[in-house]
Structure 1
Amino acid sequence: MTQRIVLSRFILAFIAGVISVLVFHQGMLALLHTINFTSRSPYPMTPTAPFGIPQVFSSALWGGVWGLVWAAIAPSFRRKNYWIAALLFGALAPTLVAWFVVAPLKSQPLAGGWQPAGMVTGLLVNGAWGFGTALLLSLFARRQAFSR
């Protein structure tokens, strides 16, 4: 692959990750909130430290960063395993980092205090993000191939 194609793939992966947070991640959170599985509501505008960025936009930014990670590892998965890998990557990688790296840095309990509903919510919303990111990246790549 040329450098231009690789750069283009990573830019698209970042965009896919951002959009996936806004559509798939927050969509799953909206569904879980609607059925009263979680008290967390979608699209939170609560300011985050240290810059006061609304939480949903902070999450979207990090979704873009995780999209870059997905773009780096996705080519190693075969076509039939791609969707399973995307779902598992999304559910596990960001969730485990949030539970065991971010939470202690923010003086929060590990794994959401081991509360089952909170743990399942994290796995589901991030799994939805992973699937959405892979789907969008796949659609972007297909569109890019047709435009050549």
Structure 2
Amino acid sequence: MSALPRLALGFVAGALSILIFDQATSFALNQLGLAQIPVYSLRPASPLGIPQIANQCLWGGLWGILFVILWDRSSFQASGHALAIVFGIFAGALVWGATSLAFGDFRAIAVGVLFGALIAGLIALFGAGVLFGLLFGVMGPAMVNWVVLPVVRGQALFGGSGRIAVTAVIGAMFGLGMAVLLSLTARLAGGGRG
């Protein structure tokens, strides 16, 4: 696929990842009582009156273009079943530890097991590129939300300890979503890699 259609595909994958993965994660965090984030908000997000969800999709699409540029140059391959099991267990344990601090009861175990199984399953289905998506989401969009936006707005960096974890989870799921969507597109088009 030539460069321009590939970049357009990245833009669409980024916008869809906002609508599907980012907003679903925000909703789940709201339901767990870990955050209060507006989901699919139509509140104007800029002086131009653009609804917040449209603004998020625009930025998600721009992140999607960068994601495709980096994804196409990365060495992640569409394999890694053993890696899926190891990383899924690690991710589940990490989430269990974080949620046990918030809940201190059986809900932490349930969240950790479900998250670990979800990540392991997605890696097994779509390959190790899902890890690239997770890392991209944390190192790109989440880092911008921790450092760049607070500087621009004159706020404290990182937004506090509870906000760091929430932003990391949302960013990771956004990146994971782009990896999954691009992998699905490649499979449907008959190509190997997303």
> Normalising TM by the smaller chain, what interval?
0.7 to 0.9
Q: 1:119 aligns with which of 164, 168, 171?
A: 164
Equivalent in the alignment of 2:144: 97
Partner of 1:43: 40
Does the residue aligned with 2:58 lie in a helix, a strand or coil? helix
- Distance in 1 between residues matched to 2:30 and 2:38, nearest whole Å: 6
Larger relative contact order (CA 8 Å, sep ≥ 6): 1
Which is further off, 65-74 or 83-92?
83-92
State the aligned residue count.
141
- 2: distance between equivalents of 1:26 and 1:94? 14
Contact 1:20 1:132 in 2 (8 A): yes
Give ranges in structure 1 of 5+ residues lacking alignment.
Answer: none
1:77-102: CA deviation from partner (whole Å, max 9, x where unpaired): 22144221111111221111122112
In the alignment, the residues of structure 2 paired with residue 109 and residue 43 of structure 1 have an alpha-carbon distance, to the nearest angstrom, of 26
- Aligned CA RMSD, in angstroms, stands at 1.6
Aligned position for 1:58: 55
Q: Check whether the contact 2:44–2:50 (CA below 8 A) recurs between aligned residues.
A: yes
Calculate the TM-score normalised by the size of structure 2. Answer: 0.68
Partner of 2:111 in structure 1?
none
Contact kept? 1:38, 1:121, Cα under 8 Å: yes
Taking the aligned partners of 2:145 and 2:6, their CA distance within structure 1 comes to: 26
CA drift of 1:118 comes to 1.3
Matched, 1:135 2:133: no
* 1:91 partner amino acid: V
Identity of aligned residues (%): 32
The AA in structure 2 aligned to 1:105 is V
1:123 and 1:90 map into 2 onto residues whose CA distance is 8
Give the 3-state SS of the residue equivalent to 1:48 in structure 2: coil
Shift of 1:117: 1.9
- Cα deviation, residue 59, structure 1: 1.0
What 5-or-longer segments of structure 2 have no aligned partner?
Answer: 80-127
TM-score by length of 1: 0.87
